[in-house]
């Protein structure tokens, strides 16, 4: 059951990169969304649209030449204002559990899955003692559907699906109120994709956490999401109920409709053209040059001082109050 109180509340989150010569590139512009316990919000869009940059901002892992603005509240904590000590000791693992893209690359190659889970349990909980740590590690593996019989294997001995489950088990150790899954189905075959999202959905359905899943896999998003946020050229252009988005009413924004039509099991009609460079966005709506419904009004939307479009007609107004 979904708790209506947001676990994560994002208001006006923006990320700019300072490039050589003083040029600024807007990777994320004015993002607004909430996600509550017992809910999955799928953030979807093409590669390079800013999804992973947004995740890095929430985790305090932006590079030195990036600057975040706005607000991202996790309980009483503003993630964008928190210092590195707070992020390292309080947020990562304890308040946000990360399921990374390419999990095999994030597992320590010279240590078994069991030892990595036991280390996480020791770091993130008050559990101590060899037997208790062993039991807690096995419980975390079981929650992620990782076979206990494989716990003494090293990462290179795991299949892609098992590596994904190991990474999920590590993310669940701290019982974080927010899970952030960054492209968790990349490189998996369809059966493993379905299994992975089903396991995540079962965990979210306990009501113990909220899930923000970043993905370009629309089939996975349809299978797991309660709501969908569509991102294009650094902006969330639509935020809506997943049933409506994938159902007969369909999405409202032309880009969102184009994404669905490009799927092989639908119209299979590719969107013409290419996404714009984030450092060279067109005037007005960034999607206008690729949109068959564009009019002159689409190039005359209000802009901020640095030339970034700041008009989101498909994001609910109550989030922008």
**pLDDT (tens digit per residue) in 270-313:** 888 888 888 888 888 888 888 888 888 787 755 433 333 334 44
Residue 128 lies in a domain: no
CA gap 256, 314 in Å, rounded: 11
* H or E stretch at 224: helix 218-224
Burial level of 112, CB count in 10 A (0-12/13-18/19+)? middle
Residue 170 lies in a domain: no
DSSP states along 233-254:
TTEEEEEEEHHHHHSSS--SSH
Residue 70 lies in a domain: yes
Q: Are 59 and 65 in contact (CB under 8 A)?
A: no
Comparison of pLDDT for 22 and 232, the residue scoring more: 232
Residue 210 lies in a domain: yes
Q: Are 223 and 194 in contact (CB under 8 A)?
A: yes
Give the contacts of 47 (CB within 8 A, at least 6 positions apart).
216
pLDDT at 83 over 90: yes
pTM: 0.88
Residue 251 lies in a domain: yes
Q: Which domain holds residue 286?
A: 6-95+176-320
The structural domain count of the chain equals 1
Q: Are 309 and 293 in contact (CB under 8 A)?
A: no
**CATH number of the domain to which 237 belongs:** 3.40.50.300
Residue 269 lies in a domain: yes
Q: Computed from CA positions of residues 264, 268, 271, 272, in that sequence, does the dihedral angle turn out positive or negative?
A: positive
Span 220-260, pLDDT tens digits = 999 999 999 999 999 998 999 999 999 878 888 889 988 88
User: In angstroms, how far is the first alpha carbon of the chain from the final one?
Assistant: 27
Residue 132 lies in a domain: no
Q: How confident is the model at residue 267 (pLDDT cuts 50, 70, 90)?
A: low
Residue 152 lies in a domain: no
CA gap 243, 247 in Å, rounded: 6
CA 209, chain centre distance (Å): 14
Long-range contacts of 111-116 (CB under 8 A, 24+ apart): 111/154, 112/151, 112/152, 112/153, 112/154, 113/141, 113/146, 113/150, 113/151, 113/152, 113/153, 113/154, 113/155, 113/158, 113/166, 113/169, 114/151, 114/152, 116/166, 116/170
CA gap 165, 138 in Å, rounded: 13
């Amino acid at each position: 059951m979904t708790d209506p109180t947001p676990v994560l509340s994002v208001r006006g989150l923006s990320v700019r990169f300072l490039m050589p010569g003083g040029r600024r590139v807007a990777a994320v512009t004015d993002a607004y969304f909430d996600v509550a316990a017992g809910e999955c919000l799928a953030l979807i869009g093409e590669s390079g649209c800013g999804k992973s940059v947004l995740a890095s901002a929430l985790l305090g892992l932006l590079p030195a030449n990036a600057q975040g603005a706005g607000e991202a509240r996790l309980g009483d904590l503003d993630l964008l204002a928190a210092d590195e000590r707070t992020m390292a000791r309080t947020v990562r693992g304890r308040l946000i559990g990360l399921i990374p893209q390419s999990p095999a690359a994030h597992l320590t190659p010279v240590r078994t899955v069991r030892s990595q889970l036991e280390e996480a349990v020791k770091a993130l909980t008050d559990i101590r003692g060899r037997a208790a740590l062993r039991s807690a590690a096995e419980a975390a593996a079981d929650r992620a559907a990782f076979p206990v019989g494989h716990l003494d294997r090293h990462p290179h001995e795991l299949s892609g699906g098992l590596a994904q489950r190991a990474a999920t088990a590590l993310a669940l150790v701290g019982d974080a109120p927010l899970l952030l899954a960054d492209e968790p189905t990349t490189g998996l075959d369809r059966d493993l994709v379905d299994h992975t999202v089903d396991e995540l959905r079962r965990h979210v359905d306990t009501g113990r956490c909220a899930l923000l899943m970043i993905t370009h896999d629309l089939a996975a998003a349809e299978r797991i999401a309660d709501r969908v946020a569509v991102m294009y050229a650094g902006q969330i252009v639509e935020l809506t109920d997943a049933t409506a988005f994938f159902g007969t009413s369909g999405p409202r924004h032309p880009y969102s409709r184009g994404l669905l039509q490009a799927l092989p099991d639908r119209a299979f009609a590719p969107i013409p053209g290419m996404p714009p460079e984030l450092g060279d966005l067109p005037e007005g709506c960034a999607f206008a040059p690729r949109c068959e419904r564009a009019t002159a009004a689409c190039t005359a939307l209000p802009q901020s001082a640095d030339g970034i479009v700041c008009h989101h007609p498909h994001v609910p107004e109550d989030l922008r109050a």
